[in-house]
Amino acid sequence: MQKDWTERYRPKSLSGIIGNEAAAQSLRRWADSWASGRPRRKAVVLRGEPGTGKTSAALALAHDMDWDFIEMNASDHRNAASIRKVAGAGSVSQTFSATGEFLSSSEGRMKLVILDEADNLFGREDFGGAKAIVETIKDSSQPIILIVNDYRELTRKSPAIRNLADSIQFARLTGREIVKVLRSISEKEKVEIPASVLEQVAENAGGDMRAAINDLQMLFEGRTVLESGDSAVAGKRNQLKELQSALRDMFGATAVKSARDATMDIDMTPDDLEKWIEENIPQEMRSPEDLAVAFEALSRSDIYLGRTRRLQYYALWGYAKELMTGGVALARKHGPRPTVMEYRFPGQFIVLSRAKGPRSARNSIAAKLSPHIHTSRRVIVRTMLPLLSVMVRNDRELLTSLIREVSFDEGDVAFLLGLDSDDRTVGAIMVQAKGEDAASSAEKPKARGAGKRSAHQL
């Protein structure tokens, strides 16, 4: 098994951070304040969704600044004693390099303390950890970076951190940004990969660079060429498996925190997660009383999601997620939990998928008609298309006239007639319209369309 690509291709410098360049610059300014001996804040919090480059930025900063570093993450015991022993001691003492060189803080040789997943620091095994972090920041003579997915959770349990640490937001990455990195990796690995597969892997990752790189490595393990037909369903398959497991843990949780944490690493927006939960509440809860309480919590969650969209204030996502996870899970009060073998795909997604083709056809027809009849596309879709569909089914001359004048294609005609685009009837109508158009072009302009209705007469 080759080395993990997420580690092999982790940026060595802040200049290599993709998609969050402004955040990287803010982090560098904070580090420069330490280098000048006048730090604005002793600590900084890097906040954002998984896979957006927070940990990579912290490690790249240490490399850029020529700082040694100490890292603690969720796999470490992070109670008060451990933090004081590792992070606390490291934040106030001098250090030695891996080669034995003495690194003096007075000469600018700093030691960066990195505490990853700091928002998960509040379990029973981490007792006293939050207080120890606050004390460490206050006493520190070395720079400290806290990395979190949920900044609100961190500051809710430890409000003092707001005043002790700067905060830098890392945004979810776009598909184009992820594709750029994946293409660079495939070139370095000398792997041939179609652009369509790179785009599929990026889409599957849902803004998570780490997930995209892991999926890419899994697809190319032991291979040098990938065909378009091989494609990247693996990413979605793995995400669906993880989602099923997360939902099972969430519905079985007995506390708000454990219910919320069960879905923390799922690469899905709260809006989409809410739809999965809504679809599967009836499978998990059979009591009418429990169902009523669960759907009440979900409806309150939906209120916060609506406010988030309307105000563009994404901090409200935290309230929505607590209600849709913890609020729903704790609604169970009656009877044993049923066995759910597999959670159902949201019916709303299926409906939207099925409606995508007709919706595109309606929009295409409206866009072509709009400049001819001087009416908005919305009005055409809402009020005219149903009538037009009936008219052209009973008036073939009107339909052929529209094909010539408005440039309707096979898809437009098929939608109006309620047929498949490859139906023979559609093909015959298109041939007829094109034949009449060719014949009419040889006649005088006044003879064209005589006795027939056109788009202007609708």
Q: What is the CATH number of the domain that holds 141?
A: 3.40.50.300
**Residues 290, 436: one domain?**
no
For every residue of 13-38, DSSP letters joined together read SGGG--S-HHHHHHHHHHHHHHHTT-
pLDDT of amino acid 448 = 45
- In DSSP terms, 46 is beta-bridged to 147, 168
Query: Domain span at residue 402?
Result: 349-457
pLDDT of the chain along its 458 residues, tens only?
A: 456 788 888 999 999 999 899 999 999 999 998 877 778 788 899 998 888 999 999 999 999 998 888 887 644 444 445 555 555 455 444 454 444 444 444 444 678 888 887 776 544 444 455 677 787 788 777 888 999 887 877 787 778 888 888 899 998 898 889 999 999 998 888 878 888 888 888 887 778 888 888 878 877 765 666 655 544 444 554 566 678 888 999 999 999 999 998 888 777 788 889 999 998 999 898 899 999 999 999 999 999 999 988 888 888 888 999 999 999 999 999 888 887 767 877 766 555 544 555 677 788 888 888 888 888 888 888 888 888 888 988 888 888 888 888 888 887 888 888 876 667 888 888 888 877 655 555 555 544 444 445 555 55
**Residues 58, 152: one domain?**
yes
**Residues 140, 201: one domain?**
no
The owner of tokens 């001087």 is: 374
Number of domains in the chain: 4
**Residues 164, 191: one domain?**
no
Closest of 57, 56, 133 to residue 88, by C-alpha: 133
**Residues 48, 185: one domain?**
no
Angstrom distance (rounded) from CA 317 to CA 314? 5
Q: Which pairing describes strands 102-103 and 95-96: parallel, antiparallel, or unpaired?
A: antiparallel
- pTM score above 0.75: no
